Structure 1
Amino acid sequence: MATFALVHGSGDGGWAWHLVQQALRERGHDAVAPDLPTDREDATWEDCAEAIVRAVGSGRDVVLVGHSSGGFVLPLAAERVAPVLQVFVAAMVPEPGETPADWFENVGWSAAVEEAAGRDDGLTGSPDPMVAFYHDVPVDLATQAMARERPTSERLGSTPSPPAARPTGEVRYLVTSHDRFIPPEVQRRVAAERLGLVAPDEIASGHCVNLSRPDDVAGYLVRLAEETSPPATPRSTGPSQTRLARSSRTRRSISSRISRTASGPWPEGSGSAQSS
């Protein structure tokens, strides 16, 4: 059984993951989705990472999953919980010392949004959250998400990521190919340049895939966990079983196939006009 730590973006809370969390538990896994203190002006990146650590507790075979700006927290949390895998879902992958505000400039976000808007008659980057973020989310669910919007710390938005922000170990990136907030081409470039993933996984979804396709996301995460986690050691230590355990301890490679424009340092979202 794996423990999935589901990390929300700015403006959201753990509720944004509730459908994925339920689907993971139905598949026999543990899943936690803590509220990060991103609504506090005195919050630090370390505070956010600690919230994840507390939620994970003594969980084993931890898989860290970050959506949107939640990707900024994953590397720091990974130093503390030693996950078997980190999964970035339509996420901001930071460089050491980079602020969330700088991230958008550094990855060419504005130009990509303008170009995409020219192709889709202004749908990408629309100020209407139902168009930019929730276009493929059931209306009642999207309405709930917007009603649950949390304030976003402007201080965090201008605080550099920690020196050890670059992700290490097993990593995956899930591109949301119908995203109208972080254009898919930006996500693919981030995956390639910052994670070394030239062929990231993709799903036909808008930015809030955790609400639009939760069952598919859960299935995807479970497959990754099964392919990444080392086989369990047999209870018996008899010669034949020991040899079997040793021969089976090979890591299989993973090959299988995500905020809101607002004023201030957080021009993105996933649960409201100011979330990410």
Structure 2
Amino acid sequence: MTEYVLIPGADGRAWYWHRVVPELRARGHEAIAVDLPEDPSAGLADYTEAVIDQLDSAPGRLVVVAQSLAGFIAPLVCARIPVERMILVNAMVPAAGETAEQWWANTGHPEARRAAALRDGRDPEAPFDPLVDFFHDVPPEITDEALSIGPPGGPSTSFFADPWPLDGWPDVPTRFLQGRDDRFFPLEFQRKVVADRLGVPVEPLPGGHLVALARPEQLTDWICG
């Protein structure tokens, strides 16, 4: 049996994975979706500790799965505890000493997002809209449920200001899954970032940025593959 640790992105709530958890359990695995701190003073070390604190005391074959912003957290977890592998989903890939605030400009994300919008016939100057950029392929009833929960607290200022502390990527087998229709982190942008920073292939899969909400069965197939 494999135990999957599912870390959400900027939303910070375990709820993000609520459609994937039963899919993993139906395949005979264990799944732990974690909540991230809501403390406005919490930094990267606090986020890492919060994930580890929510794990079973004696995990078996542990696989860490990280969504979006959790790309800054998952490697820190993997550097602390024994894991079998790490799976990044539509994730940010940090460089040594880089803050999450610096990542956007360092990777050329604003330009890549505008270019993708132009290519797709959307307004490249439109401000971020979660319904357009995140929920465009999520079923309406799931979108309604997400919005009814209320806005997340989001990452703390300290999180964005903390330099990523590792000198390099932990020595853990790593896969990178990327939604072909992700409007926030376009596929070609991610291919370049991942090639430059990780040197592993990007595995394109159907869906946008919130693929765990939009296509839980297909994402689970990829995670278990």
Structure-2-length-normalised TM-score:
0.92
For the 8 Å contact 1:71–1:92, the answer to whether it is kept is yes
Distance (Å, rounded) in 2 between the aligned partners of 1:194 and 1:146 = 34
Is structure 2 residue 119 aligned with structure 1 residue 129? no
Aligned residue number for residue 211 of structure 1:
213
Shift of 1:132: 0.9
For the 8 Å contact 2:179–2:206, the answer to whether it is kept is yes
Structure 1 stretches of 4+ with a deviation exceeding 3 A read: 123-126
Q: Secondary structure at the match of 2:190?
A: helix
Distance (Å, rounded) in 1 between the aligned partners of 2:167 and 2:210 = 28
Shift of 1:126: 5.3
Aligned residue number for residue 84 of structure 2:
84
Structure-1-length-normalised TM-score:
0.76
Aligned residue number for residue 190 of structure 2:
187
Shift of 1:212: 0.6
Aligned residue number for residue 147 of structure 1:
148
Matches within 5 A, 1:93-104: 93-104=93-104
Q: Secondary structure at the match of 2:54?
A: helix
What residue ranges of structure 1 are gaps of 5+ in the alignment?
Answer: 224-276
Distance (Å, rounded) in 2 between the aligned partners of 1:147 and 1:95 = 36
Aligned residue number for residue 39 of structure 2:
40
Partner residue of 2:199 out of 196, 201, 211: 196
Distance (Å, rounded) in 1 between the aligned partners of 2:39 and 2:66 = 19
More strand by share: 2
Q: Percent identity?
A: 35
> Alpha carbon RMSD of aligned pairs, Å?
1.6
Aligned residue number for residue 222 of structure 1:
224
Aligned residue number for residue 48 of structure 2:
49
For the 8 Å contact 1:167–1:195, the answer to whether it is kept is no
For the 8 Å contact 2:41–2:157, the answer to whether it is kept is no
The residue identity in structure 2 corresponding to 1:127 is F
Distance (Å, rounded) in 2 between the aligned partners of 1:102 and 1:140 = 35
The residue identity in structure 1 corresponding to 2:46 is D
Aligned residue number for residue 139 of structure 2:
138
What residue ranges of structure 2 are gaps of 5+ in the alignment?
Answer: none
Shift of 1:164: 4.3
For the 8 Å contact 1:126–1:132, the answer to whether it is kept is no
For the 8 Å contact 1:93–1:190, the answer to whether it is kept is yes
For the 8 Å contact 1:67–1:88, the answer to whether it is kept is yes
Distance (Å, rounded) in 2 between the aligned partners of 1:12 and 1:41 = 12
Aligned residue number for residue 23 of structure 1:
23
Q: Secondary structure at the match of 1:117?
A: helix
Distance (Å, rounded) in 2 between the aligned partners of 1:12 and 1:35 = 6
Aligned length: 221
Larger Rg: 1
Distance (Å, rounded) in 2 between the aligned partners of 1:49 and 1:2 = 21
